[in-house]
Amino acid sequence: MLKVMIIGCGGIAPAHIEGYLHAGEDATIVCLADQNLQRAKDLMERYGLTEARAIEDYHDGLADADVVSVCTPPGLHRDAAVAALEHGCHVLLEKPMAPSLAECDEIIAAAERHGKLLSVVVQSRFITGIRNVLDMVRGGAYGKNLYARVHSVWYRGESYYDLGWRGRWEVEGGGCTQNHSIHHIDLLLWAKGMPASIRAMMTNLNHHNSEEEDFSSSVLRYPDGSVAELTSSLISHGEAQTLIFQMERAGLRIPFQAFASKPRDNGFPEPDEATVAEATADFESRPKLALENHDGQVQNFLRAVQGKEALLATAQDGRNCIELITGVYASSITGQEVVFPIGKDSEYYTGAWRAKAPHFFEKSKDVAAFSDTTITSFKNKF
Ligand SMILES: NC(=O)c1ccc[n+]([C@@H]2O[C@H](COP(=O)([O-])OP(=O)(O)OC[C@H]3O[C@@H](n4cnc5c(N)ncnc54)[C@H](O)[C@@H]3O)[C@@H](O)[C@H]2O)c1
Protein backbone atom coordinates (compact mmCIF):
# COMPACT_ATOMS: atom_id res chain seq x y z
CA MET A 1 0.00 0.00 0.00
CA LEU A 2 1.50 3.36 -1.08
CA LYS A 3 1.17 6.04 1.60
CA VAL A 4 0.38 9.46 0.13
CA MET A 5 1.02 12.92 1.52
CA ILE A 6 -0.29 16.22 0.12
CA ILE A 7 1.76 19.36 0.77
CA GLY A 8 -0.29 22.54 0.32
CA CYS A 9 -4.06 22.32 0.80
CA GLY A 10 -5.36 25.23 -1.27
CA GLY A 11 -7.14 25.50 -4.60
CA ILE A 12 -5.52 22.63 -6.54
CA ALA A 13 -5.16 20.13 -3.67
CA PRO A 14 -8.69 18.68 -4.13
CA ALA A 15 -7.80 17.64 -7.71
CA HIS A 16 -4.90 15.60 -6.30
CA ILE A 17 -6.96 14.10 -3.46
CA GLU A 18 -9.70 13.10 -5.90
CA GLY A 19 -7.03 11.69 -8.23
CA TYR A 20 -5.71 9.39 -5.50
CA LEU A 21 -9.27 8.43 -4.49
CA HIS A 22 -10.30 7.68 -8.10
CA ALA A 23 -7.10 6.00 -9.31
CA GLY A 24 -8.11 2.53 -8.20
CA GLU A 25 -4.50 1.82 -7.25
CA ASP A 26 -3.17 0.62 -3.94
CA ALA A 27 -2.72 4.06 -2.38
CA THR A 28 -4.04 5.73 0.74
CA ILE A 29 -3.78 9.36 1.83
CA VAL A 30 -2.04 9.42 5.23
CA CYS A 31 -1.13 13.07 5.67
CA LEU A 32 -2.23 16.57 4.62
CA ALA A 33 0.19 19.42 5.33
CA ASP A 34 -0.46 23.13 5.19
CA GLN A 35 1.09 26.04 7.02
CA ASN A 36 -2.51 27.06 7.53
CA LEU A 37 -3.49 23.95 9.52
CA GLN A 38 -7.21 24.61 9.24
CA ARG A 39 -7.00 24.15 5.46
CA ALA A 40 -5.57 20.66 5.90
CA LYS A 41 -8.27 19.83 8.45
CA ASP A 42 -11.02 21.14 6.19
CA LEU A 43 -9.92 18.88 3.32
CA MET A 44 -9.67 15.87 5.64
CA GLU A 45 -13.22 16.46 6.72
CA ARG A 46 -14.53 17.21 3.21
CA TYR A 47 -13.14 13.95 1.83
CA GLY A 48 -13.74 11.81 4.95
CA LEU A 49 -10.03 11.01 5.26
CA THR A 50 -10.37 9.54 8.74
CA GLU A 51 -7.07 7.61 8.53
CA ALA A 52 -5.07 10.76 7.68
CA ARG A 53 -3.49 13.36 9.93
CA ALA A 54 -3.27 17.10 9.38
CA ILE A 55 0.04 18.84 10.06
CA GLU A 56 1.46 22.32 9.79
CA ASP A 57 5.12 21.59 8.92
CA TYR A 58 5.43 19.16 6.03
CA HIS A 59 8.85 17.98 7.23
CA ASP A 60 7.04 16.16 10.07
CA GLY A 61 5.13 13.94 7.65
CA LEU A 62 7.77 12.90 5.12
CA ALA A 63 9.12 9.90 7.03
CA ASP A 64 5.70 8.20 6.83
CA ALA A 65 5.04 8.84 3.12
CA ASP A 66 5.95 6.90 -0.04
CA VAL A 67 4.39 9.38 -2.46
CA VAL A 68 4.07 13.16 -2.13
CA SER A 69 2.00 15.65 -4.11
CA VAL A 70 3.47 19.14 -3.91
CA CYS A 71 0.68 21.73 -4.25
CA THR A 72 2.33 24.82 -2.75
CA PRO A 73 2.86 28.13 -4.58
CA PRO A 74 5.59 27.91 -7.28
CA GLY A 75 8.35 29.61 -5.29
CA LEU A 76 8.17 26.79 -2.71
CA HIS A 77 8.23 23.89 -5.18
CA ARG A 78 11.99 23.33 -5.06
CA ASP A 79 12.25 23.17 -1.26
CA ALA A 80 9.27 20.86 -0.81
CA ALA A 81 10.13 18.58 -3.73
CA VAL A 82 13.80 18.23 -2.76
CA ALA A 83 12.90 17.54 0.88
CA ALA A 84 10.41 14.85 -0.17
CA LEU A 85 12.88 13.21 -2.60
CA GLU A 86 15.60 13.24 0.06
CA HIS A 87 13.24 11.35 2.37
CA GLY A 88 12.91 8.69 -0.33
CA CYS A 89 9.45 9.74 -1.57
CA HIS A 90 8.28 9.75 -5.19
CA VAL A 91 7.01 13.22 -6.11
CA LEU A 92 4.13 14.53 -8.20
CA LEU A 93 4.87 18.23 -8.46
CA GLU A 94 2.35 20.86 -9.51
CA LYS A 95 3.18 23.06 -12.45
CA PRO A 96 5.22 25.18 -12.97
CA MET A 97 8.07 22.86 -12.00
CA ALA A 98 9.94 25.80 -10.41
CA PRO A 99 10.45 29.42 -11.41
CA SER A 100 14.04 28.92 -12.64
CA LEU A 101 16.03 26.36 -14.60
CA ALA A 102 18.57 26.19 -11.77
CA GLU A 103 15.84 25.12 -9.34
CA CYS A 104 14.48 22.58 -11.85
CA ASP A 105 17.96 21.07 -12.10
CA GLU A 106 18.28 20.89 -8.31
CA ILE A 107 15.00 18.94 -8.15
CA ILE A 108 16.02 16.62 -11.00
CA ALA A 109 19.41 16.00 -9.36
CA ALA A 110 17.69 15.08 -6.06
CA ALA A 111 15.42 12.61 -7.88
CA GLU A 112 18.40 11.01 -9.62
CA ARG A 113 20.46 10.89 -6.41
CA HIS A 114 17.72 9.06 -4.58
CA GLY A 115 16.42 6.98 -7.49
CA LYS A 116 12.83 8.26 -7.12
CA LEU A 117 10.20 9.12 -9.71
CA LEU A 118 9.40 12.74 -10.36
CA SER A 119 6.49 13.89 -12.48
CA VAL A 120 5.30 17.44 -13.11
CA VAL A 121 1.56 18.04 -13.54
CA VAL A 122 0.43 18.51 -17.14
CA GLN A 123 -3.13 17.26 -16.87
CA SER A 124 -4.04 18.34 -20.41
CA ARG A 125 -2.05 15.36 -21.73
CA PHE A 126 -4.74 13.25 -20.04
CA ILE A 127 -7.75 14.69 -21.89
CA THR A 128 -9.06 12.41 -24.64
CA GLY A 129 -9.76 15.11 -27.23
CA ILE A 130 -6.29 16.61 -26.77
CA ARG A 131 -4.37 13.34 -26.58
CA ASN A 132 -5.91 12.02 -29.77
CA VAL A 133 -5.22 15.11 -31.88
CA LEU A 134 -1.63 15.21 -30.64
CA ASP A 135 -1.20 11.53 -31.51
CA MET A 136 -2.45 12.39 -35.02
CA VAL A 137 0.04 15.25 -35.28
CA ARG A 138 2.90 13.10 -34.01
CA GLY A 139 1.97 10.00 -35.97
CA GLY A 140 3.06 11.27 -39.38
CA ALA A 141 -0.01 10.24 -41.42
CA TYR A 142 -0.77 13.89 -42.22
CA GLY A 143 2.82 14.79 -43.14
CA LYS A 144 5.16 17.14 -41.40
CA ASN A 145 3.96 19.97 -39.17
CA LEU A 146 4.86 23.22 -40.93
CA TYR A 147 3.28 25.76 -38.60
CA ALA A 148 1.55 25.59 -35.24
CA ARG A 149 -0.55 28.33 -33.69
CA VAL A 150 -1.25 28.17 -29.98
CA HIS A 151 -3.81 30.51 -28.52
CA SER A 152 -3.49 30.03 -24.77
CA VAL A 153 -6.09 32.61 -23.95
CA TRP A 154 -7.60 32.75 -20.48
CA TYR A 155 -9.69 35.15 -18.45
CA ARG A 156 -8.89 36.22 -14.90
CA GLY A 157 -10.47 39.26 -13.27
CA GLU A 158 -8.58 42.03 -11.57
CA SER A 159 -8.97 40.52 -8.09
CA TYR A 160 -7.13 37.34 -9.14
CA TYR A 161 -3.84 39.08 -8.35
CA ASP A 162 -4.95 40.20 -4.89
CA LEU A 163 -3.84 36.78 -3.55
CA GLY A 164 -0.59 37.38 -1.67
CA TRP A 165 1.73 35.08 -3.65
CA ARG A 166 0.49 36.22 -7.06
CA GLY A 167 1.53 39.27 -9.04
CA ARG A 168 5.15 39.65 -7.92
CA TRP A 169 8.03 38.45 -10.10
CA GLU A 170 10.12 37.38 -7.11
CA VAL A 171 7.34 35.37 -5.46
CA GLU A 172 5.12 33.99 -8.23
CA GLY A 173 7.92 33.90 -10.78
CA GLY A 174 5.91 35.11 -13.78
CA GLY A 175 2.49 35.96 -15.11
CA CYS A 176 0.23 34.18 -17.57
CA THR A 177 3.05 32.71 -19.67
CA GLN A 178 4.49 30.81 -16.73
CA ASN A 179 1.33 29.97 -14.85
CA HIS A 180 -1.43 29.56 -17.41
CA SER A 181 -0.02 29.02 -20.89
CA ILE A 182 2.30 26.41 -19.48
CA HIS A 183 -0.48 23.87 -20.07
CA HIS A 184 -0.53 24.62 -23.79
CA ILE A 185 3.23 25.12 -23.98
CA ASP A 186 3.63 21.56 -22.74
CA LEU A 187 1.29 20.34 -25.49
CA LEU A 188 3.23 22.26 -28.13
CA LEU A 189 6.50 20.80 -26.83
CA TRP A 190 4.99 17.32 -26.76
CA ALA A 191 3.97 17.69 -30.40
CA LYS A 192 7.06 19.40 -31.80
CA GLY A 193 9.93 19.19 -29.28
CA MET A 194 12.06 22.16 -28.24
CA PRO A 195 12.42 24.99 -30.77
CA ALA A 196 15.83 26.26 -31.83
CA SER A 197 15.02 29.87 -30.91
CA ILE A 198 12.27 32.28 -29.85
CA ARG A 199 11.44 35.94 -30.29
CA ALA A 200 8.85 37.42 -27.91
CA MET A 201 7.19 40.49 -26.44
CA MET A 202 5.11 40.88 -23.30
CA THR A 203 2.94 43.50 -21.63
CA ASN A 204 0.23 43.90 -18.99
CA LEU A 205 -3.05 44.97 -20.57
CA ASN A 206 -5.51 45.01 -17.69
CA HIS A 207 -4.29 43.65 -14.33
CA HIS A 208 -3.37 46.70 -12.31
CA ASN A 209 -2.37 44.79 -9.15
CA SER A 210 0.38 42.77 -10.82
CA GLU A 211 3.98 43.53 -11.69
CA GLU A 212 3.93 40.70 -14.22
CA GLU A 213 2.68 40.20 -17.77
CA ASP A 214 -0.92 39.30 -18.58
CA PHE A 215 -0.11 39.00 -22.30
CA SER A 216 2.81 37.70 -24.31
CA SER A 217 3.28 36.82 -27.94
CA SER A 218 6.12 34.72 -29.37
CA VAL A 219 7.37 33.29 -32.63
CA LEU A 220 9.31 30.04 -32.40
CA ARG A 221 11.67 28.60 -35.00
CA TYR A 222 12.37 24.85 -35.09
CA PRO A 223 15.47 22.97 -36.22
CA ASP A 224 13.47 21.42 -39.10
CA GLY A 225 12.57 24.89 -40.43
CA SER A 226 8.98 24.89 -39.15
CA VAL A 227 7.55 27.68 -37.01
CA ALA A 228 5.03 28.23 -34.22
CA GLU A 229 3.21 31.22 -32.81
CA LEU A 230 2.31 31.30 -29.14
CA THR A 231 -0.11 33.81 -27.64
CA SER A 232 -0.57 33.88 -23.87
CA SER A 233 -3.33 36.04 -22.44
CA LEU A 234 -5.34 36.53 -19.27
CA ILE A 235 -7.75 39.10 -20.72
CA SER A 236 -9.61 36.87 -23.16
CA HIS A 237 -13.36 36.62 -22.63
CA GLY A 238 -14.70 33.17 -23.36
CA GLU A 239 -11.26 31.52 -23.07
CA ALA A 240 -11.43 30.27 -26.66
CA GLN A 241 -8.26 28.23 -26.36
CA THR A 242 -7.08 26.62 -29.56
CA LEU A 243 -4.06 24.85 -30.93
CA ILE A 244 -3.89 24.50 -34.71
CA PHE A 245 -1.29 22.32 -36.38
CA GLN A 246 -0.94 23.01 -40.09
CA MET A 247 0.37 19.73 -41.48
CA GLU A 248 1.38 19.13 -45.08
CA ARG A 249 -1.90 17.30 -45.84
CA ALA A 250 -4.39 18.90 -43.42
CA GLY A 251 -4.94 21.34 -40.59
CA LEU A 252 -5.67 19.65 -37.24
CA ARG A 253 -7.20 21.71 -34.46
CA ILE A 254 -7.72 21.28 -30.72
CA PRO A 255 -10.67 21.29 -29.88
CA PHE A 256 -10.91 18.84 -32.75
CA GLN A 257 -11.62 20.09 -36.20
CA ALA A 258 -9.95 19.05 -39.43
CA PHE A 259 -9.41 21.36 -42.41
CA ALA A 260 -8.01 20.40 -45.78
CA SER A 261 -7.47 22.29 -49.00
CA LYS A 262 -6.08 21.14 -52.32
CA PRO A 263 -4.74 23.41 -55.05
CA ARG A 264 -6.35 23.95 -58.41
CA ASP A 265 -4.02 24.28 -61.41
CA ASN A 266 -3.56 27.97 -60.71
CA GLY A 267 -2.69 27.32 -57.05
CA PHE A 268 -5.92 28.68 -55.61
CA PRO A 269 -7.56 26.34 -53.06
CA GLU A 270 -10.59 24.12 -53.22
CA PRO A 271 -11.89 21.99 -50.33
CA ASP A 272 -10.35 18.54 -49.90
CA GLU A 273 -13.38 16.80 -48.45
CA ALA A 274 -11.87 13.31 -48.65
CA THR A 275 -8.98 14.26 -46.37
CA VAL A 276 -11.32 16.02 -43.92
CA ALA A 277 -13.46 12.85 -43.81
CA GLU A 278 -10.36 10.69 -43.32
CA ALA A 279 -9.06 12.83 -40.44
CA THR A 280 -12.48 13.02 -38.80
CA ALA A 281 -12.94 9.24 -38.96
CA ASP A 282 -9.39 8.79 -37.63
CA PHE A 283 -10.11 11.10 -34.67
CA GLU A 284 -13.44 9.47 -33.88
CA SER A 285 -11.99 5.95 -33.98
CA ARG A 286 -9.37 6.70 -31.34
CA PRO A 287 -9.81 5.44 -27.76
CA LYS A 288 -11.42 7.42 -24.96
CA LEU A 289 -9.36 7.73 -21.77
CA ALA A 290 -11.04 6.13 -18.75
CA LEU A 291 -9.66 8.74 -16.36
CA GLU A 292 -8.96 12.30 -17.43
CA ASN A 293 -7.16 15.41 -16.13
CA HIS A 294 -5.54 15.03 -12.69
CA ASP A 295 -7.29 11.67 -12.22
CA GLY A 296 -5.51 10.32 -15.29
CA GLN A 297 -2.13 11.75 -14.38
CA VAL A 298 -2.29 10.57 -10.76
CA GLN A 299 -3.18 7.07 -11.96
CA ASN A 300 -0.28 7.03 -14.45
CA PHE A 301 2.07 8.31 -11.72
CA LEU A 302 1.00 5.64 -9.23
CA ARG A 303 1.27 2.90 -11.85
CA ALA A 304 4.74 4.13 -12.85
CA VAL A 305 5.80 4.10 -9.18
CA GLN A 306 4.67 0.47 -9.01
CA GLY A 307 6.49 -0.37 -12.25
CA LYS A 308 3.23 -1.13 -14.08
CA GLU A 309 3.61 1.45 -16.87
CA ALA A 310 5.90 4.22 -18.12
CA LEU A 311 5.62 7.73 -16.73
CA LEU A 312 3.89 9.85 -19.33
CA ALA A 313 4.95 13.24 -17.97
CA THR A 314 8.58 13.35 -16.91
CA ALA A 315 10.71 15.81 -15.00
CA GLN A 316 12.47 16.69 -18.27
CA ASP A 317 9.08 17.60 -19.77
CA GLY A 318 8.51 19.96 -16.83
CA ARG A 319 11.96 21.47 -17.26
CA ASN A 320 11.46 21.96 -21.01
CA CYS A 321 8.37 24.07 -20.28
CA ILE A 322 10.40 26.27 -17.93
CA GLU A 323 13.17 26.61 -20.50
CA LEU A 324 10.74 27.76 -23.18
CA ILE A 325 9.01 30.16 -20.78
CA THR A 326 12.38 31.54 -19.68
CA GLY A 327 13.04 32.13 -23.38
CA VAL A 328 9.82 34.17 -23.64
CA TYR A 329 10.89 36.34 -20.70
CA ALA A 330 14.52 36.67 -21.82
CA SER A 331 13.54 37.70 -25.34
CA SER A 332 10.88 40.13 -24.09
CA ILE A 333 13.29 41.81 -21.71
CA THR A 334 16.29 42.01 -24.05
CA GLY A 335 14.40 42.56 -27.30
CA GLN A 336 16.65 39.87 -28.81
CA GLU A 337 16.05 36.42 -30.27
CA VAL A 338 16.92 33.77 -27.67
CA VAL A 339 18.64 30.58 -28.80
CA PHE A 340 18.05 27.27 -26.98
CA PRO A 341 19.39 25.64 -24.89
CA ILE A 342 19.80 28.33 -22.24
CA GLY A 343 23.22 27.50 -20.77
CA LYS A 344 24.17 27.45 -17.12
CA ASP A 345 26.37 30.48 -17.78
CA SER A 346 23.36 32.54 -18.97
CA GLU A 347 22.03 35.21 -16.63
CA TYR A 348 18.61 33.67 -17.33
CA TYR A 349 19.58 30.25 -15.89
CA THR A 350 18.90 31.34 -12.31
CA GLY A 351 15.96 33.52 -11.32
CA ALA A 352 18.27 36.53 -10.84
CA TRP A 353 16.94 38.13 -14.05
CA ARG A 354 13.67 38.88 -12.27
CA ALA A 355 15.32 41.82 -10.54
CA LYS A 356 15.53 43.40 -14.02
CA ALA A 357 12.03 42.47 -15.19
CA PRO A 358 9.72 45.40 -15.93
CA HIS A 359 7.09 46.16 -13.29
CA PHE A 360 4.03 46.78 -15.41
CA PHE A 361 2.17 47.86 -12.25
CA GLU A 362 3.08 47.93 -8.55
CA LYS A 363 1.22 45.50 -6.36
CA SER A 364 -0.63 47.42 -3.69
CA LYS A 365 -3.20 44.93 -2.38
CA ASP A 366 -2.65 41.50 -0.78
CA VAL A 367 -5.08 39.01 0.71
CA ALA A 368 -3.78 35.89 2.47
CA ALA A 369 -6.57 33.69 1.09
CA PHE A 370 -9.87 34.13 -0.73
CA SER A 371 -12.94 32.88 1.11
CA ASP A 372 -13.89 31.02 -2.10
CA THR A 373 -11.00 28.67 -2.97
CA THR A 374 -12.77 26.89 -5.83
CA ILE A 375 -11.13 27.11 -9.22
CA THR A 376 -12.71 26.80 -12.63
CA SER A 377 -10.82 25.36 -15.55
CA PHE A 378 -11.06 24.51 -19.21
CA LYS A 379 -11.33 20.80 -18.54
CA ASN A 380 -14.74 20.31 -20.11
CA LYS A 381 -14.08 22.21 -23.33
CA PHE A 382 -12.36 19.39 -25.21
N1 LIG B 1 -2.68 22.10 -12.74
C2 LIG B 1 -3.54 23.10 -12.64
O3 LIG B 1 -4.48 23.25 -13.43
C4 LIG B 1 -3.38 24.10 -11.53
C5 LIG B 1 -4.44 24.96 -11.18
C6 LIG B 1 -4.24 25.86 -10.12
C7 LIG B 1 -3.02 25.91 -9.46
N8 LIG B 1 -2.00 25.10 -9.87
C9 LIG B 1 -0.68 25.16 -9.22
O10 LIG B 1 -0.80 24.60 -7.91
C11 LIG B 1 0.05 25.29 -7.02
C12 LIG B 1 -0.78 25.83 -5.87
O13 LIG B 1 -1.76 26.70 -6.39
P14 LIG B 1 -3.15 26.94 -5.61
O15 LIG B 1 -4.02 27.67 -6.56
O16 LIG B 1 -3.62 25.67 -4.99
O17 LIG B 1 -2.63 27.95 -4.48
P18 LIG B 1 -3.33 28.28 -3.08
O19 LIG B 1 -2.74 29.54 -2.61
O20 LIG B 1 -4.80 28.14 -3.20
O21 LIG B 1 -2.82 27.07 -2.16
C22 LIG B 1 -1.48 26.91 -1.77
C23 LIG B 1 -1.47 26.33 -0.37
O24 LIG B 1 -0.11 26.06 0.01
C25 LIG B 1 -0.01 26.40 1.37
N26 LIG B 1 1.40 26.62 1.70
C27 LIG B 1 2.15 27.69 1.40
N28 LIG B 1 3.40 27.52 1.89
C29 LIG B 1 3.41 26.31 2.49
C30 LIG B 1 4.40 25.58 3.19
N31 LIG B 1 5.66 26.05 3.33
N32 LIG B 1 4.07 24.39 3.73
C33 LIG B 1 2.81 23.90 3.57
N34 LIG B 1 1.83 24.57 2.93
C35 LIG B 1 2.13 25.75 2.38
C36 LIG B 1 -0.87 27.64 1.54
O37 LIG B 1 -1.23 27.85 2.90
C38 LIG B 1 -2.06 27.28 0.68
O39 LIG B 1 -3.08 26.61 1.41
C40 LIG B 1 0.75 26.39 -7.84
O41 LIG B 1 2.00 25.91 -8.27
C42 LIG B 1 -0.18 26.58 -9.02
O43 LIG B 1 0.49 27.04 -10.18
C44 LIG B 1 -2.16 24.18 -10.86
In angstroms, the CA 99 to CA 50 distance is: 35
Burial class, 135, CB count within 10 angstroms (exposed 0-12 / middle 13-18 / buried 19+): middle
In angstroms, the CA 143 to CA 146 distance is: 9
What's the CA-to-centroid distance between 72 and ligand 1, angstroms? Answer: 4
Atom of ligand 1 nearest to the CA of 36: 37
pLDDT score at 369 = 84
Please list the residue range(s) of the chain that carry CATH number 3.40.50.720: 2-124+293-313
pLDDT score at 374 = 78
323 CB neighbour count, 10 Å cutoff: 20
Tell which one of 34, 122, 166, 373 to mutate to probe ligand 1, the residue whose CB is within 8 A of the most ligand atoms.
Answer: 34
73 lines ligand 1 (CB under 6 A): yes
pLDDT score at 382 = 62
pLDDT score at 373 = 75
Instruction: Please give the CATH topology (third level) of the domain spanning 2-124+293-313.
Output: Rossmann fold (3.40.50)
What does DSSP assign to residue 257? E
- Residues 6 or more apart whose CB falls under 8 angstroms from that of 200 comprise 216, 217, 218, 219, 327, 328, 329, 331, 332, 338
**Which residues of the chain have a pLDDT value below 50?**
none
137 lines ligand 1 (CB under 6 A): no
Please list the residue range(s) of the chain that carry CATH number 3.30.360.10: 126-287+319-372
Backbone phi, psi, residue 269, to 5°: -85, 150
CATH 3.30.360.10 fits 126-287+319-372, yes or no: yes
121 lines ligand 1 (CB under 6 A): yes
Report cis status (omega within 30 of 0) of the bond before 74: no
Please tell me whether residue 236 adopts helix, strand or coil conformation. Answer: coil
pTM for the model stands at 0.96
Please tell me whether residue 290 adopts helix, strand or coil conformation. Answer: coil
